[in-house]
Amino acid sequence: MEDKEKTGKEIIYREFIEQETEEAKAAGDTGYMARVLVKATLPHSNPGNVEKWNRNNGYFGLNIQSGLNMKGQAVGLPYGVYPRLILSWMTTEAVRTKQPTLILGNSLSAFMRKLDIDVTGGEKGNIRRLKDQMGRLCACHISCVYEDKDSGRSGIINVNIADEADYWWNPKSPEQISMFNSTIELNNKFFKEIIKRPIPLDMNILKQIRRSPMEIDLYDWLTYRMNHLKDKTPIRWEALQLQFGADYKNLFHFKMKFRQHLHAVKLVYPGSNFDDTDDKYFFLLPGTPSVPPRKKVFLLS
């Protein structure tokens, strides 16, 4: 009788935890980011008239090449805050729906509100910027390269973000409701990657740092590392510059900006743990992920 009672309590507790998790997701507290774009990241600012981009993280290299428009001209590389917000939304939707076809909605303004972006027009308005960055992101080609010189092992994975994108909205009339939903069909390799190993994010934290691409990258990276780190880990400042800021003027300038953004992230993510006081090495220390691992079921007494 006692065993049956314990089993019943365990089932009730499991259902409570699952309901709590689903309610958190429904409230928008939990989002996700593609792991491959956390290990190495997109440009922070406009790289100019270049068609290729590279960032390295140890044995891992990320290469991005611009896509082409209908005239065969390079559309440019995605950069800044918008592609990061779009990628987070894409990954979250894919994880939530378990489907590669993402429904953007039947109006541009509705989609912009999903990203928490103000709907403003004009030459420097958000509508123009979002449309431009969306086009760059969905058209670009990505290569993930692995090279371990010690073991001799190497490999490459070529992947696109999207196989197809259909936009039915009118940028000149963002509130206009179209007859059809705009959609993005994720590339199958990219879809499998983000479904298999997404990085959980606290969307409330992301909203507080969403104006800085560097702070978004640092938050994503820190919560990813805090989820697995067991020991104090040294990283050379030169390696961090290759990973996060190869476009800064020099190492001194990178360190200054990195520390500035790092401590801004620490304010909203106190569970992150590090030591940035050494001149040669940055030290990652064991901390807590911003989204705790799924709670284990245990018997209630």
pLDDT tens profile 228-238: 899 999 999 99
Percent of the chain with pLDDT over 90: 56
User: Between β-strands 281-284 and 101-105, what pairing exists: parallel, antiparallel or unpaired?
Assistant: unpaired
Among 227, 253, 216, which residue's Cα sits nearest to residue 89?
216
pLDDT tens profile 249-266: 799 999 999 999 999 999
Tokens for 226, please give them. 């805090």
Burial, 5: exposed, middle or buried (Cβ in 10 Å; 0-12, 13-18, 19+)? exposed
Burial, 137: exposed, middle or buried (Cβ in 10 Å; 0-12, 13-18, 19+)? buried
Residues of the chain with CATH 1.10.10: 204-301
Average pLDDT on 184-213 reads 93
pLDDT-derived band at 40, boundaries 50, 70, 90: confident
Taking the CA of residue 179 as centre, how many other CA atoms within 13 Å lie in the half-sphere pointing to its CB? Answer: 0
- Using DSSP, state whether 197 is helix, strand or coil: coil
DSSP 272: -
DSSP 54: E
In DSSP terms, 65 is beta-bridged to 52, 141
User: pLDDT: is 292 or 222 the higher one?
Assistant: 222
Q: Is the pLDDT of residue 33 over 50?
A: yes
Count H helices and E strands in the chain, helices first: 10, 12
Angle at 34 between CA 168 and CA 151, to 5 degrees: 140
Among 224, 243, 245, which residue's Cα sits nearest to residue 235?
243
User: Between β-strands 30-34 and 198-202, what pairing exists: parallel, antiparallel or unpaired?
Assistant: antiparallel
CATH architecture of the domain with range 204-301: Orthogonal Bundle (1.10)
Cβ–Cβ < 8 Å for 283, 225: no
Q: How far apart are the first and last CA of the chain?
A: 15
pLDDT tens profile 196-208: 889 999 999 999 9
